[in-house]
Structure 1
Amino acid sequence: MTADADVLARALASDAPLTWVLTGDSITHGLVHTQGGRTYAEHLHEIVRGELGRVRDAVIDTAISGWRIVQLLEDFDRRVATWRPQLVTVMIGTNDCSDAGAFPVITPAPFAESLTVFVRRVRELGAIPVLQTPPVVDVPNAPERSRIAAFAQAVRDVAAAEETILVDQFARFAELGNGEVPWGLMNDPFHPNATGHKALALELAEALGLDPTGSRVLPKLRADIAAGRLN
């Protein structure tokens, strides 16, 4: 358990309300690809404010489709600081690894440097940073994102160096796909579908130690993910 995980556990044991900010790119933004289903941020909302009964908590999704870590840093005040959060999760890298489009192509090293700045700015707010690796990509059908594994590793490296909570969605999706892309959880080569968002939510909840007594949501997520793997 990291020191941050211990701080979070104590915060969850308290009645003091928390503000949770989830930010990142299109995967966290959650438009289109769930086809009307809940995003992982919305599942987290139900777990926190519903099943844990933390009704005075606020769960806020500030992610924007197409964004990279440099844009998150440039708009940090609006995306993160203005909400005065106690916990901030970021899932980023799917666009950063791309070698197509208007942005300059970068390597994992400057990406990791920017992500480290992000983590430290979150800590300056007195909040807990949580780093999430992006899910796997179907590289043959998205060759511009062929470097995704190296960027996922960069997220892991920053988490280890900065001693943050890590949610390794990349590893989990690879496991669910038996080393490949779990197509039953995907809407296209790099966007999870509604079932994929259930997998993201479950992995995040478990990493954060969210285990409501008598939960109805978590068993349903597990069952739906298991069924989705077969599609």
Structure 2
Amino acid sequence: MKDDVYMRTEPVSALQDRMAQDEPMTWSFIGDSVTAAGWHTFGHRGYVELVNERLRELGRRADIVINAGHSGWQVGSLQSDLPRIALRFSPDVVVIGIGINDTKNGLEGLAPFKQGYRSVVERLREAGVEHIIAQTPNGTLPTAPDHVVEHLSAYSAAIRKLADELDIPLVDHDDVWSDAPESSWFHWLGHGCHPNAAGHRVLAREIFRALNVWDPENSRTCGLHIP
């Protein structure tokens, strides 16, 4: 598996500088059922909760981490509900996790998906959000819904391009999962496209690496076993 850090140096440095300050931060995670982390984790922590715990380990106990993930959501859902799920909290950081459900719209849905994603980022910036992080979706099994199997790679590619065009950091889960042996990521999914507890540890690991806080030797959160 790659050890690359997928976020660009400049945005990461700015966020790391902000995290080095004592002033509390508000983190808003917006997205679909993977972000929500219900059902297929069987009560275990999802990746957002693991990020929260890692921040506490780092001494950022006054930070607020908000999980506004909703099952079934597409990028249009983020557009219509952005004030309620993010803007009302005046977040310092917004982490976007969307795309799996948008594959229902096929390849013809790529153009409106990109337009909607761009709109979300622009509105966050207009509201004064300083740090916006994009994510590609996790990998999926062949048993995932047909529309996911057929179109997820195209939507992940669109997110990569958007992150580049909008100059926002990207955590490329799809690339990481694609590079992992099938014998590994087969154990990361509780359903064709829904990560289980182990899968959420993988998602959290890549965010930790991106934020340069991956430290399995000294962190209990980072040291959780990943099959």
Question: TM-score surpassing 0.5?
Answer: yes
Once the two structures are TM-superposed, the CA of residue 4 in structure 1 deviates from its matched residue by 2.2
Alignment of 1:21-32 (within 5 A): 21-32=28-39
Deviations 1:13-61 (CA, angstroms, capped at 9, x unpaired): 1001100001100000011010111100010010012x11111100110
Once the two structures are TM-superposed, the CA of residue 106 in structure 1 deviates from its matched residue by 4.3
Q: Does 1:173 align with 2:173?
A: no
Once the two structures are TM-superposed, the CA of residue 144 in structure 1 deviates from its matched residue by 2.1
Residue aligned with 1:209, SS: coil
Once the two structures are TM-superposed, the CA of residue 217 in structure 1 deviates from its matched residue by 1.9
Q: Does 1:86 align with 2:89?
A: no
Deviations 1:130-151 (CA, angstroms, capped at 9, x unpaired): 0000011224542122100000
Gaps of 5+ in 2: 1-7
Residue aligned with 2:101, SS: coil
CA distance in 2, matches of 1:181, 1:110: 34
Q: Does 1:216 align with 2:216?
A: no
- Counterpart code for 2:76: V
Taking only the aligned residue pairs, the percentage that are identical comes to 33
Which one of 163, 166, 174 corresponds to residue 162 of structure 1?
Answer: 166
Higher relative contact order (CA 8 A, sep 6+): 2
Q: 2:120 corresponds to which residue?
A: 118
Contact 1:136 1:174 in 2 (8 A): yes
Q: 1:44 corresponds to which residue?
A: 51
Deviations 1:62-121 (CA, angstroms, capped at 9, x unpaired): 010000000110000001101110000011000001249xxxx84222211111111111
Contact 2:188 2:197 in 1 (8 A): yes
Q: Does 1:62 align with 2:75?
A: no
**Judging changes above 3 Å, is the alpha-carbon distance between structure 1 residues 214 and 76 closer, same or farther for their aligned structure 2 residues?**
same
- Counterpart code for 1:82: R
Q: 2:4 corresponds to which residue?
A: none
Deviates more, 1:140-149 or 1:207-216: 207-216
- Counterpart code for 2:80: E
CA distance in 1, matches of 2:34, 2:172: 15
Residue aligned with 1:54, SS: coil
Once the two structures are TM-superposed, the CA of residue 122 in structure 1 deviates from its matched residue by 1.5
- Counterpart code for 2:157: Q
Q: 2:79 corresponds to which residue?
A: 73
- Counterpart code for 1:138: L
Q: 1:147 corresponds to which residue?
A: 151
Once the two structures are TM-superposed, the CA of residue 9 in structure 1 deviates from its matched residue by 1.2
Aligned length: 217
- Counterpart code for 2:24: P
- Counterpart code for 1:161: E
When the two structures are superposed, what TM-score results if normalisation uses the length of structure 1?
0.88
Alignment of 1:177-188 (within 5 A): 177-178=181-182, 182-188=185-191
Contact 2:44 2:197 in 1 (8 A): yes
Contact 2:144 2:193 in 1 (8 A): no
When the two structures are superposed, what TM-score results if normalisation uses the length of structure 2?
0.89
